[in-house]
Amino acid sequence: MARAATTSDAFNAIAEPQRREILVLLRDGERPVTDLARDLGMTQPQASKHLRVLREVGLVQVRGAGKQRLYGLDARGLRPIHEWVGGFERFWNESFDPLDEYVQELKQAKQEGPQDGDDQ
């Protein structure tokens, strides 16, 4: 069962896997809570609790459309997460550079391959 956010922090909100899945579903556009609950295999009250947490931390917006409430992604709330993860970009680039060099060496060796008559 979803619990209320203990902070007004996006990191806390997305720590819950079902909330991350809600954000993934909302990438494609607004959806009513009933659709989200169905796609996630949970009850409407459970989905509503998760949506409330996401709304409180600024990751989800809600608007009325007749009798329905439509929930949509507010990606601006993901900015602190994006910035934090972006700080690791240099680490990943430096980690993958030696691997890329090795792959290029393997490709080059494969292209050169054994020449006719080299074995004799």
pTM of the prediction? Answer: 0.70
pLDDT digits (tens, 9 = 90+) for 21-66: 999 999 999 999 999 999 999 999 999 999 999 999 999 999 998 8
Give the rounded percent of residues in the chain with a pLDDT score beyond 70: 88
Res 36: pLDDT? 96
Partners of 62 in beta bridges: 71
Query: pLDDT-based confidence at 99, cuts 50/70/90?
Result: confident
Average pLDDT, the chain: 86
The rounded distance, in Å, linking the Cα atoms of 51 and 35 is: 13
Reported as a pLDDT band with limits 50, 70 and 90, residue 90 is confident
pLDDT of residue 44: 95
